[in-house]
Amino acid sequence: MSNFDLLTKLIPLLEEFQEAKNGTESRSVEHFSDWLNQQVLMRTNFPDKRLPEAGETGLPRGEDKDATLGKMVYYMYRYARFYTKKALKDSPLNSLDEFTFLVTLLHTPVTTKTELIHKMVYDKTTGIELINRLIKQGLVTEEENPADKRSKLIHITDLGRGTLFSSFEELGKVSQIIPGNLTTEELHTLIHLLDKLDNHHIEIWDHHKDSGLDTILEGQRQKKKVS
């Protein structure tokens, strides 16, 4: 390939890079190099030719990219709940939520209700209701916190451990179904990207949970500017 041919291929990518940054980030050679590397990685790992070409707006499927991401994440959550319900049909556990709470308690033997609810990214009311169901079933027990009489310490019980262990085989099948038709490389890429998103959002959850959406959005924009 001649230098001229290479240049003709780079120009559309430069235009795409400029549109992606939308004037909010530096357009240095280093930033372009990082962006280009990400594009090569994504296009190598996701060569799905069935996806329609971008329309006049430059957006896939004629939808807003951010809205599409939210929709896809929500669908995957619903699929996971659908498969999990099948896996737990003969278990005292009623949902994926109850299972994940017990798993967390298994690896964190003693914690407060508030700490567990925060770690599981739940609002307080829903988290308390879920924990109370587990207590009522005898899967979790609670006791006074000697360090703070206002809070309760919760533990997984022997019955909870037994229930959890007996569900692993069926839920292991769910874990095999969820990745679907992704290749090993695609799965690694997806996990990397979701981990990156999780790290971003957990920082908001930990430190700005009570902030309004406008405040959270402005903080996100400021981070993009300096990145």
pLDDT of 175 reads 92
Share of the chain above pLDDT 70, in %: 73
CA 115/CA 198 separation, integer angstroms: 18
Half-sphere exposure of 219 (CA within 13 A, CB side): 14
At 150 the three-state DSSP class reads strand
Does a structural domain hold residue 54?
A: no
Tokens at residue 198, please? Answer: 């999780």
Q: How many domains does the chain have?
A: 3
CA 28/CA 20 separation, integer angstroms: 14
26 pLDDT higher than 60: no
Does a structural domain hold residue 65?
A: no
55 pLDDT higher than 50: no
More confident residue, 34 or 184: 184
Q: How confident is the model at residue 222 (pLDDT cuts 50, 70, 90)?
A: confident
Return the amino acid letter for 204.
I
- Say which residue the tokens 């994440």 belong to: 73
Q: Do 163 and 193 share a domain, yes or no?
A: no
Q: Do 91 and 123 share a domain, yes or no?
A: yes
48 pLDDT higher than 60: no
DSSP one-letter string for 98-152: HHHHHHHHHHSSSEEHHHHHHHTT--HHHHHHHHHHHHHTTSEEEEEETTEEEEE
Q: Which residues pair with 156 in a beta bridge?
A: 140
Share of the chain above pLDDT 90, in %: 31
Does a structural domain hold residue 68?
A: no
57 pLDDT higher than 90: no
Q: Do 184 and 165 share a domain, yes or no?
A: no
Q: Do 21 and 93 share a domain, yes or no?
A: no
For residue 148, what is the enclosing H or E element? Answer: strand 148-156
Q: Is the pTM of this model over 0.75?
A: no
Tokens at residue 61, please? Answer: 């499927």
Q: How confident is the model at residue 1 (pLDDT cuts 50, 70, 90)?
A: low
Q: How confident is the model at residue 138 (pLDDT cuts 50, 70, 90)?
A: very high
The whole-chain average pLDDT of the chain stands at 80
134 pLDDT higher than 90: yes
Does a structural domain hold residue 66?
A: no
- 82 within 8 A of 140, measured Cβ to Cβ: no
Q: What is the pLDDT of residues 149-197, one digit of tens each?
A: 888 899 999 999 999 999 999 999 999 999 999 899 889 999 999 999 9
Sign of CA dihedral 227, 55, 37, 196: positive
Q: Do 184 and 156 share a domain, yes or no?
A: no
pLDDT of 42 reads 56
Domain extent at residue 23: 1-49
DSSP one-letter string for 191-221: HHHHHHHHHHHHHHHHH-TTS-HHHHHHHHH
Tokens at residue 117, please? Answer: 């609810």
Backbone torsions φ then ψ of 203, nearest 5 degrees:
-65, -40
CA 71/CA 46 separation, integer angstroms: 19
Q: Do 215 and 156 share a domain, yes or no?
A: no
